[in-house]
Amino acid sequence: MADSVLVIGGGIAGIQASLDLASRGMNVYLVDENPSIGGRMAQLDKTFPTMDCSICILAPKMIECSRHPNIKLLTYSEVQEVKGSAGNFEVKILKKPRYVDEEKCTGCGTCAQSCPVEVPNEFDMNIGIRKAIHIPFLQAVPLKYLIDEENCLKCRLCERVCGAKAVNFDQKPETINLNVGSIIIASGFELFDSTKKSEYGYGRYRDVLTSMEFERMLSASGPTGGNLVRLADGKVPNTIVFIQCIGSRSSKDLPYCSSVCCMYATKEAILIKEHHPESEVYIFYIDLRAFGKGFQEFINRARDEYKIKYIEGHPSRIVEDPKTKNLQVHYEDVVEGDIKNIVADLVVLCPALIPRKGNEKLSKIMNVQLDELGFFKAKDSLLNPIDTNIPGIFICGYCQSPKDIPDSVAQASGAAARAAETIIQATQRGKR
């Protein structure tokens, strides 16, 4: 129906836009290429500066999306084609086969218990394992299993044990045609590849982690059950070093600031101290960016109450001791002007958050412009930050420019308003 809206991306921005539109009586198709909605926020342990449990505040919204009579969830699906114009877009969606019937699956998990294949779990940033038949995470919406075709042995054990007879190896990709009045893009972000900064040894040293990996480690439902351990030897790390601006604010890599890293590193540092108050935590930064509401107060607490040590500067390299697996972090003390090092048990890199690779494909399908970095380009970044060059297609969240959760939520509601305006005005034109 032309009074419907297509929302691309089921992270917090896409969820908020969908719920706003559905709550006012408009129909929404929420498309996510992943098997569950939830996006990046579902992977986080806590959120700054309130220390809310991320999934606990997100899950009710995810469930509301799945239960809302006006929202149709299309997970594990991709936009293939978009034609038409504001008020009347023809959209083709490709729904990939889960090899599990969504109608029949109850999410009981018996199938995964019987599955003999164990592979790294991408939701846990490949630290933990999952089965070939799996759900991405416990609170997944929809709570429907899927078989990862690449790793499945076709042993069909899952098919035998499934009481609901939901496993279906004959499932085929499905093309779904939609007619919508407006489109909202909320495709989010991905992480800069930290192996490019070879001086820090990411990929070579087991206990040099990215912040997203570390976030999963902190999470009670993560691969270590929320226990802080070194992957090299299972010991509890005592000295932990964070390094900001991995690939960001750099003339060589990415020129911009990712806007959230100083804050989430501070949050992760506080969480370490809450796990193990005796640990030593250092955060290396270029400029400490705490520009949001309550952020500077949060940093002050981290520094004064939790005794987190902020060091200005960018370490030059990390060297692992092959025996102890300890990590020597070399840096210049800009206050004293000396070259120094800290022996860390674990190092967390805070990589630049970058536009998703899929943006290019979406941009071609919809003729929507990207900026030179690959973010979706607003019609006017100052006065029109939600509109794109194509009338009726709007953008919100990190895919437009770096921003945190509340800014994404507010902008997502803004995109919902613009989509609603488009549809209401198209309907009025139709009536005349």
Q: Which of residues 219-258 bind another protein (CB under 8 A)?
A: 249, 255-257
Could you tell me the sign of the dihedral formed by the alpha carbons of 64, 139, 119, 169, in that order? negative
With CB under 8 A as the contact rule, the residue among 3, 94, 97, 110 that binds another protein is 110
The span from the CA of 10 to the CA of 371, in Å, is: 22
Task: Tell me the two tokens of residue 66.
Answer: 């799945």
β-strands 393-395, 182-185 pairing: parallel
Of 109, 157, 104, 154, the residue nearest 130 (C-alpha): 109
* Cβ contacts of 317 within 8 Å, gap of 6 or more: 199, 200, 330
Least separation in angstroms between residue 334's CB and another protein is: 7
**What is the number of other CB atoms lying within 10 angstroms of the CB of residue 174?**
12
Helices (H), 68-161: 110-114, 157-161
Least separation in angstroms between residue 15's CB and another protein is: 10
CA 422 to each of CA 87, 88, 91, 173: distance values in angstroms, whole numbers, following the listed order: 7, 10, 17, 32
Residues from 23 through 42 that contact another protein (CB under 8 A): 23-25
Residues from 163 through 202 that contact another protein (CB under 8 A): 163
Which range binds another protein by CB under 8 A, 86-94, 101-109, 182-190, 194-202?
101-109
Does residue 86 bind another protein (CB under 8 A)?
no
Does residue 313 bind another protein (CB under 8 A)?
no
- Pattern 55-74, another protein, x by CB under 8 A: --xxxxx-x---x-------
CB-based contact 331:338 (threshold 8 Å): no
Q: Which is nearer to another protein, 110 or 126 (CB)?
A: 110
The span from the CA of 78 to the CA of 57, in Å, is: 27
With CB under 8 A as the contact rule, the residue among 43, 121, 194, 401 that binds another protein is 401
Burial class (CB in 10 A: 0-12, 13-18, 19+), 170: exposed
The span from the CA of 31 to the CA of 141, in Å, is: 12
Q: Which is nearer to another protein, 52 or 148 (CB)?
A: 52
Least separation in angstroms between residue 52's CB and another protein is: 6
Which range binds another protein by CB under 8 A, 93-101, 147-155, 223-231, 405-413?
405-413
Least separation in angstroms between residue 94's CB and another protein is: 26
With CB under 8 A as the contact rule, the residue among 234, 335, 429, 431 that binds another protein is 335
Q: Which residues of 335-351 are buried (b: 16+ CB within 10 A; e: fewer)?
A: eeeeeeebebbbbbbbb
With CB under 8 A as the contact rule, the residue among 4, 47, 77, 244 that binds another protein is 47
- Pattern 123-162, another protein, x by CB under 8 A: ----------------------------------------
With CB under 8 A as the contact rule, the residue among 6, 212, 420, 426 that binds another protein is 420
Task: Tell me the two tokens of residue 253.
Answer: 């890599």
Least separation in angstroms between residue 21's CB and another protein is: 8
Which range binds another protein by CB under 8 A, 43-51, 75-83, 153-161, 188-196?
43-51
| Beta strands, E only, 286-345 | 309-312, 317-320, 327-333, 338-344
The span from the CA of 202 to the CA of 190, in Å, is: 17
Q: Which is nearer to another protein, 116 or 255 (CB)?
A: 255
Does residue 287 bind another protein (CB under 8 A)?
yes
Q: Which is nearer to another protein, 291 or 321 (CB)?
A: 291
Which range binds another protein by CB under 8 A, 84-92, 177-185, 206-214, 396-404?
396-404
Does residue 4 bind another protein (CB under 8 A)?
no
SS3 265: helix
Q: Which is nearer to another protein, 21 or 329 (CB)?
A: 21
